[in-house]
Structure 1
Amino acid sequence: MLDLGRYGSREVMDLQLFNYLTKAPIMTMDYATSSQTENTAETVYARGGRGNPRRIAWHGDKETIVTVETQIFTMQHLALLAGENIVSGANEIYKSEVLTVENGGTGTKIINLSKIPVGTVDDVAVFVYKNGILGQSQTVETISNKELQLASTSTANIGDEVQVYYRWNATNTHKLSFTAKGFPPYIFMVGDTVYSDENSGEVVSAQLKYYRAKLQPNFTITSAPSGDPSTLSLVFDVFPVKINGVDTLYDMTIYEDE
């Protein structure tokens, strides 16, 4: 028999996320840096008499918010935040690169790209590139596979550097669209953690079931070459669901992991 103890918490909570209606798994998250379950309620008092002391208390507006911090994120995280699906397949990728004008023979000037551009010569932009600055625009006369041939009137000489802007078709991609109408869906969420028992010295397992949760849509991903890695904050609002006829925000179950 598992006796109740006096517990301390110093371990992160791993999460399992499920579709709210079907309970189909969405993702598992076992790499968070911290997790926090915050419970709040509002208390209103009736006061009266000398000194205006509190006489009666009313409680209401009970809320639970789960905040998870992670320095590792997935497209599934972002899809939940966006409220949209990940679409796999081919997509056009914008690219710019600095290249050297080469001798194509018979007086032609060519540029060899790293990718095959899509579109026509009007979809490729070439500029003289000197001292890190874009110079005069150059006219592309023909495209053959990865090779551009400049017009005979181009001012870029063989050996000069140019910067080329173009698009190429990547066949193996995953795309997520952040739309104006997309918002996070409701989910069923399970949290697994462990607590240390002061008296027995044993570690007990704990599972928290948040029956109806919804991500807040606000998030920030920082890109910087210094300091700590970017942290993604996932904030879940928890809503009550009737469990055995009682409006329940979440359950906590302590058990022996036999």
Structure 2
Amino acid sequence: MALNLGRYGSREIMDLQIFNFATKAPLLSMDYATSAQTENTAATVYARGGAGNARRIAWHGDKETKVTIETKIFTMQQLAMLAGEDIVSGSHEIYKREVLKVEDDGTGKKQIKLSKTPVGTNKDVAVFEYVNGVLGKGQDVETVTTNTLKLAASASVAIGAEVEVYYRQLATDAHKLSFTAKGFPPYVLLVGDTVYADEVSGEMVSAQLQYFKAKLQPNFTITNSPTGDPSSLTLVFDVFPVKVNGVDTLYDMIVHED
């Protein structure tokens, strides 16, 4: 049965597939966005003249397409595209802070047991008195054995008192993304799948939008807050023309049978 064109309504999200522009290798997919908007703009200038300085001739140009994606779920792959850098997996040092109690080591000396083993030496661990939630006087650390700190004889904090400890631990299974001064988003092929409702047939019609060359704008914000709605990440793609059958084409919209 032939697919006839219809009168469409749009009220469904557009799922995305994102590919490397040069190699067409898949980078990521998104089926969890909250909104997807394709904005098309162009400039118009006019020749005016005569009585009332009316418009006589129009010229159009500066055509642009922009795709804006809003999502409340984000991935490291999305952030890597924004950063223009690769994700590095392996072991990485993590800064850690703990509030702990000073213990008796069994000989009357003072010790502190950390939840993790610190990296470095006793000079890389900082211990402070912790009274009423305020950073107090520093305490000297004599030795570090695995995750146990032995305080020096000069330490003034009492056994049973709380201390605040700052140190670094080695996370053996971690993923790191660096936001560098020279890294910027690469060009990608952007493909969006959605459905439109046909007013006359009452059926849903599949549609695919193929943006042949797109580039993320590097600006983004992620908010950390314990109140209100979850943080929303905005991804804004500028779309560029590519020769398709000899014609500079920004994107194709294809209505098709599923």
Shift of 1:152: 1.2
Instruction: Write out aligned runs for 1:71-110 (5 A).
Output: 71-110=72-111
Question: Alpha-carbon deviations, 1:61-96, whole Å to 9, x = none?
Answer: 000000000000000000000000000000000000
Instruction: Write out aligned runs for 1:3-82 (5 A).
Output: 3-82=4-83
Report whether the alignment pairs 1:188 with 2:182.
no
> Runs of 4 or more off by more than 2 Å in structure 1?
none
Number of residue pairs matched by the alignment: 257
Amino acid paired to 1:151? A
Q: What SS does the corresponding residue of 1:122 show, helix, strand or coil?
A: helix
Amino acid paired to 1:232? L
Structure 2 distance, partners of 1:153, 1:218, is 51
Q: Which residue of 2 aligns with 1:207?
A: 208
Q: Which residue of 1 aligns with 2:176?
A: 175
Shift of 1:106: 1.5
Shift of 1:256: 1.2
Structure 1 distance, partners of 2:93, 2:57, is 66
Q: What SS does the corresponding residue of 1:51 show, helix, strand or coil?
A: helix
Structure 2 distance, partners of 1:86, 1:106, is 48
Structure 2 segments unaligned to the other structure (5+ residues)? none
Structure 2 distance, partners of 1:76, 1:177, is 12
Amino acid paired to 2:11? R
Q: Which residue of 1 aligns with 2:163?
A: 162
Instruction: Write out aligned runs for 1:234-253 (5 A).
Output: 234-253=235-254
- Name the TM-score, length of structure 1 as normaliser: 0.99
Q: Which residue of 1 aligns with 2:219?
A: 218
Shift of 1:153: 1.4
Amino acid paired to 1:254? V
Shift of 1:251: 0.2
Give the share of equivalent positions with the same residue, in percent. Answer: 72
Structure 1 distance, partners of 2:40, 2:206, is 21
Question: Alpha-carbon deviations, 1:167-207, whole Å to 9, x = none?
Answer: 00000000000000000000001000000000110100000
Q: What SS does the corresponding residue of 1:105 show, helix, strand or coil?
A: coil
Amino acid paired to 1:13? M
Shift of 1:163: 0.2
Structure 1 segments unaligned to the other structure (5+ residues)? none
Amino acid paired to 1:117? P
Q: What SS does the corresponding residue of 2:105 show, helix, strand or coil?
A: strand
